[in-house]
A and B are shown apart, each in its own frame.
Chain A
Amino acid sequence: MIERVSGIALNTFRESIRDKVLVTLIVFAVLVMGSARVIQPLALGEEAKIVKDLGLSAITLFCVLISILVGGRIVYREVEKRTIYIILAKPVRRWEFILGKYLGLMAVLVVSLAVMTAAFYAILLVLGVGAPLYLMLAVLMTLFQLAILTAVAVQFSTFSTPITGAVFTFAVYFVGHLLRDLKLLAAMNPSPVVKVVSYILYYALPNLGNFNIRPEVVYGAPLDPLALLFSGLYALVYTATLLLISTLIFNRKEF
């Protein structure tokens, strides 16, 4: 099993790492981070905060884009190019295929994150703003968020075209961050139907707000390690569930 999954994962990784979209996004992220230099004189003493906000936000945003844009094509591409016929004719189980594609894509994201974080720290040091290691906790939480988002992208990729899948995945990303607001609004709304529906949505859809610890990290505020641990577990459980759903969809797929 490991041989098959890792074979597919490695192949997916090699294929995606050469994707021009990927390289473009990484370059753009680094450029955005570098533009912090321009902001320095205008910031009236708040450069440190702004540079850190900008850097961590760029890393998150661009990796989210990679997840959505590259992930959206990951299964579709194989079907469209019919390379999948050869793969599935081999003794590869369908769930192994899905898992392999997912892990390959996550490997790409880890590499992208690493490159961007290295550039971020380099920029922080060059600007003399201070580069504490605990900033990486924000990157770690971003990785957890990406784990879920990539699983969403893979799931859509099993039955949608890349563009539709990308749009849906982005929609999930957007809504995933509004869920806290939704819960608050629901609490204030008198209608019980609205309350119930909102609560169902709150717990069913991925609560991506769990993974945004940038404000705490940038201000050096204390973090609750238990909350971080639970967030990580949440990502794991939710991702596994999504991959299972993807497998079910993919199992029934005919070519």
Chain B
Amino acid sequence: MASLSEPVISVTRLSKVYRSGFRMKRIQALTDISLEVERGEIFGFLGPNGAGKTTFIKVLMGLTEPTTGGALVFGRPPRDAAAKARLGFLPESPYFYDHLTAREFLSLATRLSAVPKSEAAGRITGLLRLLRMEIAADVQMRGFSRGMLQRMGIAQALVADPELVVLDEPMGGLDPIGRKEFRDIIVDLRDRGKTVFFSTHILSDVEMICDRVGIVIEGRMAEVGRLSEILTGEVESVEVTVRGVTGKTQKILERVSRHTIKSGDELLLTVKSEEEVEKIMAICREVGGIRVVGIVPHRPTLEDYFMAHVAQAGRKP
């Protein structure tokens, strides 16, 4: 029985190789991934499409076996029923039994999750209410929209009141309102003491709600840690906007700036350090007649970080 201080998910040097096709071509889906997910945190598993996120989650759920390395959920192997009893899973683009109504499906889920019969009905009603599915409770799921299916997905994942919730691309196909709702649900789960692990390729979702992030690119772990640690917070660049610059002055300024864009009678200069900002200010004061309209410092965002990593991975042989 895992104690409360032990990590909920513990993955050590996990690799997964697929063999496909007649010639048994080797596809390395995951390489040497290690990470830990602590209790009570929201962990975002971020990576571009095809990076191996779903494969990783399948290993966590016991749907696929690792080639080397291992994963433990609540300190037990993924196919252990005791581990599964404490988690809820929402797969990507979930599909359910057409012929069942929402209520019937959740009832099946309670049966499979060993939810005591006395509590089952109450839980189902509560979840339907939470996910605003009450109106459609007795409608067959074959008529459900993508958003409704996604909500049903979360509902069945929560039916056993699990300690850990694993979601694969939960925001997929949702409109902005739906995504906000999901984000709120995830945050609410964390606030109630649960641990949430979700994968996504959408940066803003991660930025908004995750405590910790794991960035995976082409099957390898690029970085794991707190967002605040990954994004150092140092000013990366400054964008200075000036107006009323003549041709000669422009050329001088262009030499200082790393990157210049002319927009109407405005000039946008990008510089890397405070000294360079000072230089520009000095030039402007000297020339006269130039108005400094704006100075905007840029701190690196996750997107910058991400794009840099992807570019770096792309440059590898």
C-alpha gap A90/B89 in the complex (Å): 8
User: Is B208 interfacial (CB-CB < 8 Å)?
Assistant: no
Q: Does A254 contact B (CB under 8 A)?
A: yes
CB distance from B63 to the nearest CB of A (A): 4
Contact between B63 and A88, CB atoms less than 8 A apart: yes
Q: Whole-angstrom distance from the CB of A62 to the nearest CB of chain B?
A: 23
B91 near A91: Cβ-Cβ < 8 Å: no
Q: Which of A3, A8, A93 gathers the greatest number of chain B CB atoms within 10 Å?
A: A3
With A7-B108, A8-B112 known to touch, is A88 a contact of B97 (CB < 8 Å)? no
Tell me the complex Cα distance, A122–B16, Å: 61
Query: When chains A and B are docked, how far (Å) is the Cα of A88 from the Cα of B109?
Result: 11
| Residue B111 interfacial (CB < 8 Å) | yes
CB < 8 Å neighbour of B61 from A11, A18, A88 = A88
Q: Are A4 and B95 in contact (CB under 8 A)?
A: no
Cβ distance A74 to chain B, nearest Cβ, rounded Å: 13
Residues of A near B93 (CB, < 8 A) are 82
- Please measure, in the bound complex, the distance between the C-alpha atom of A82 and the C-alpha atom of B61, giving whole angstroms: 14
The 0/1 profile, CB within 8 Å of B marked 1, for residues 88-105 of chain A is 111111000000000000
Which B residue sits closest to A18, measured CB to CB? B99
Given contacts A85-B63, A85-B91, A91-B84, contact A4 B97 (CB under 8 A): no
Task: Please report which residues of chain B, range 74-127, place their CB below 8 angstroms from some CB of chain A when the two chains form the complex.
Answer: 81-82, 84-85, 87-89, 91, 93-97, 99-100, 108-109, 111-114
Q: Which residue of A lies closest to B117 (CB)?
A: A3
Min C-beta distance of A254 to chain B, whole Å: 5
Given contacts A86-B156, A90-B109, A90-B113, contact A254 B81 (CB under 8 A): no
A18 CB, min distance to chain B CBs, angstroms:
6
B218 on interface, CB distance cutoff 8 Å: no
Contact check, B89 vs A254: say whether CB atoms are below 8 A apart. no
**What's the least CB distance linking A95 to chain B, in Å?**
12
Contact of B63 among A4, A83, A254 (CB under 8 A): A254
- B58 contacts partner chain A, Cβ-Cβ < 8 Å: yes
Chain A interface size, under 10 / 10 to 19 / 20 to 34 / 35 or more: 20 to 34
**Given contacts A88-B63, A90-B112, are A81 and B99 in contact (CB under 8 A)?**
no
**CB under 8 Å from chain A, chain B span 125-159:** 153, 156
Instruction: Using known A-B contacts A14-B99, A83-B95, determine if residue A89 contacts B111 with beta carbons closer than 8 Å.
Output: no
The total of chain B residues at the interface (CB under 8 A) is: 30
> Which of B91, B99, B109, B160 contacts A82, CB < 8 Å?
B91
Which listed residue (B87, B94, B111) contacts A4, Cβ 8 A?
A: B111
B81 near A7 with CB under 8 A, answer no
Inter-subunit contact B99/A89 (CB<8 Å): no
Q: B64 near A: Cβ within 8 Å? A: yes
Give the complex CA separation of A82 and B160 in angstroms: 21
Contact with A along B223-234 (1 / 0, CB 8 A): 000000000000
A82 to chain B: which residues have CB within 8 Å? 91, 93-95
Q: How far is the CA of A192 from the CA of B91 in the complex (A)?
A: 56
Q: Smallest distance from the beta carbon of A89 to chain B beta carbons, Å?
A: 4
Are A83 and B64 CB-contacts (below 8 A) given A89-B84, A91-B84?
no
Contact B89 A85 (CB under 8 A): yes
* 8 Å CB interface, B157-184 against A: 160
Whether the pair B58, A255 counts as a contact (CB closer than 8 A) is yes
CA distance A92 to B112 in the complex (A): 6
State A88–B112 Cα separation when bound (angstroms): 10
Task: Please report the C-alpha to C-alpha distance between residue A90 and residue B159 in the assembled complex, in whole angstroms.
Answer: 10
Q: Tell yes or no: A15 within 8 A of B by CB.
A: yes
Contacts of A255 in B (CB 8 A): 58, 63-64
CB distance A85 to B97 under 8 Å? no
Cα A92 to Cα B114 with chains together (Å)? 9
Q: Are B91 and A86 in contact (CB under 8 A)?
A: yes
Q: How far is the CB of B121 from chain A (nearest CB, A)?
A: 15
User: Does A87 sit at the interface, judged by CB under 8 A?
Assistant: yes
Q: Which residues of A contact B87 (CB under 8 A)?
A: 89
Cross-chain contact B156 with A91 (CB below 8 angstroms): no
Residues B46-67 near A (CB distance < 8 A)? 58, 61-65
B96→A86 contact, CB < 8 A: yes
Q: How far is the CB of A8 from chain B (nearest CB, A)?
A: 7
Closest beta carbon of chain A to B58's beta carbon, Å? 7
Closest 6 CB pairs of A and B: A7-B111, A89-B89, A91-B84, A91-B81, A90-B112, A85-B91
Known: A86-B91, A90-B113. 9 other contacts (CB 8 A): A4-B111, A4-B114, A7-B112, A11-B108, A81-B95, A83-B95, A85-B63, A86-B89, A255-B58
